[in-house]
């Protein structure tokens, strides 16, 4: 009687449900046999479904050393290692993972961030992570498009100089310009490489966040000078009714093109011409900044001399 009471846990399973025990036993045998068969046949399966490090690197357009590095840090490990030769093999599943890593790297994600997302089991966290990655990708695309526009403007300018020649002589002319609404910078006084590169960001920072969508700025920069004070400005293409904006009147403007080196001399001559020929002492001076290269810019000085008549 005592012996029947002292029954081990595994033996108890046999007594309670011998059928389930039998099924489990047969399944275990089949599983072990399957592993043994797979191991013995790995050389044959290798040719069809597995890839060496060199083959995998060529397929995903990476270097073999990159794959070894991913293996060392636990990012992507080969699915099989031959015990005799020591060769490591990748399956199609690892190739897909490697290509996914390249896409995520293009979104400026670190390898550790990528490792976290590949190991993440919480689907909601994965979705949120990918949304953030998508936003970073959109921001990167916007920066590249902005850089592309600057480069295009530069090479068009150089093409024009190459085909038509370039003269820095002072050419005075009158332009009739429509009314413009501008926003003056609260601190920037002169153009620099730094502030011209992402020019409009500064002006959006002066606006309440809730009003950003109501503003749109022209792709240009300029300096506004009055009573001895100079501020950079942006031309508003779209804007709400708001205090603090400056209106430049429609009318005739006496203009001249100049460079950084001769702009002061050109301005003095332009002021004299405005006084002598038009009897005008302008209340303000505009320097429109004309980007002529990736690292260069010139100016067009504009002096208001006459209002348009209806």
The predicted pLDDT at position 17 comes to 43
Residues 246 and 173 in one domain: yes
Residues 215 and 289 in one domain: yes
Q: How many residues does the chain have?
A: 310
| Spatial distance between the Cα atoms of 115 and 30, rounded to a whole number of angstroms | 35
| Total tally of structural domains belonging to the chain | 3
The winner for highest mean pLDDT among 22-36, 134-148, 210-224, 281-295 is 210-224
- pTM score, whole prediction: 0.52
CB 223 within 8 A of CB 256: no
Helix (H) or strand (E) holding 57: helix 53-60
The predicted pLDDT at position 7 comes to 38
- Of 206-215, 270-279, 281-290, 293-302, which gets the smallest average pLDDT? 293-302
Residue 291 inside a domain? The answer is yes
Which of 100, 43, 90 has the alpha carbon at shortest distance from 68? Answer: 90
Task: Report, as an integer, the average pLDDT of 70-84.
Answer: 89
The predicted pLDDT at position 309 comes to 62
Residues 56 and 83 in one domain: yes
Q: At 300, is the pLDDT very low, low, confident or very high (cuts 50, 70, 90)?
A: very high
Task: Report, as an integer, the average pLDDT of 273-282.
Answer: 94
Residue 20 inside a domain? The answer is yes
Average pLDDT of the chain is 80
The CATH code of the domain that includes 87 is 1.10.1660.10
Residue 1 inside a domain? The answer is no
Residues 131 and 112 in one domain: no
- Which domain does 147 fall in, by range? 122-166
CB 267 within 8 A of CB 255: no
Residues 275 and 176 in one domain: yes
DSSP strand pairing (51-52 vs 88-90): antiparallel
Residues 204 and 282 in one domain: yes
Rg over CA atoms, the chain: 36
The predicted pLDDT at position 310 comes to 52
The CATH code of the domain that includes 230 is 3.20.80.10
Q: Bigger pLDDT: 37 or 68?
A: 68
At 7-58, the pLDDT tens digits run: 344 443 443 344 334 334 433 433 344 443 344 343 444 456 889 999 999 9
Residues 248 and 184 in one domain: yes
Percent of the chain beyond pLDDT 70? 77
């Amino acid at each position: 009687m005592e012996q029947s009471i002292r029954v081990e846990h595994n033996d108890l399973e046999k007594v309670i449900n011998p059928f389930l025990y039998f099924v489990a036993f047969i399944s275990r045998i089949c599983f072990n046999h399957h592993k043994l068969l797979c191991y013995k046949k790995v050389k044959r399966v290798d040719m069809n479904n597995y890839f060496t490090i060199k083959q995998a690197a060529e397929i995903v357009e990476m270097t073999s050393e990159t794959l070894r590095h991913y293996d060392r840090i636990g990012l992507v490990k080969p699915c099989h290692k031959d015990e005799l030769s020591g060769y490591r093999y990748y399956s199609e599943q690892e190739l897909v993972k490697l290509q996914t890593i390249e896409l995520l790297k293009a979104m400026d994600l670190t390898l550790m961030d990528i490792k976290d997302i590949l190991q993440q089991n919480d689907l909601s966290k994965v979705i949120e992570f990918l949304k953030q990655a998508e936003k970073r990708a959109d921001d990167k695309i916007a920066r590249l498009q902005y850089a592309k526009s600057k480069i295009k403007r530069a090479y068009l300018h150089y093409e024009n100089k190459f085909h038509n020649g370039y003269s820095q002589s002072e050419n005075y002319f009158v332009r009739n310009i429509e009314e413009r609404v501008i926003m003056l910078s609260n601190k920037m006084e002169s153009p620099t490489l730094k502030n011209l590169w992402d020019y409009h960001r500064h002006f959006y920072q002066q606006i309440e966040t809730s009003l950003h969508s109501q503003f749109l700025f022209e792709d240009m920069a300029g300096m506004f000078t009055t009573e001895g004070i100079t501020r950079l400005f942006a031309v508003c293409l779209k804007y709400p009714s708001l205090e603090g904006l400056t209106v430049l009147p429609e009318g005739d403007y006496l203009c001249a093109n100049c460079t950084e080196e001769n702009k002061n001399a050109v301005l003095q001559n332009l002021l004299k011409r405005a006084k002598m020929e038009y009897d005008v002492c302008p209340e303000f001076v505009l320097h429109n900044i004309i980007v002529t290269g990736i690292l260069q810019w010139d100016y067009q000085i504009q002096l208001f001399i006459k209002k348009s008549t209806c």
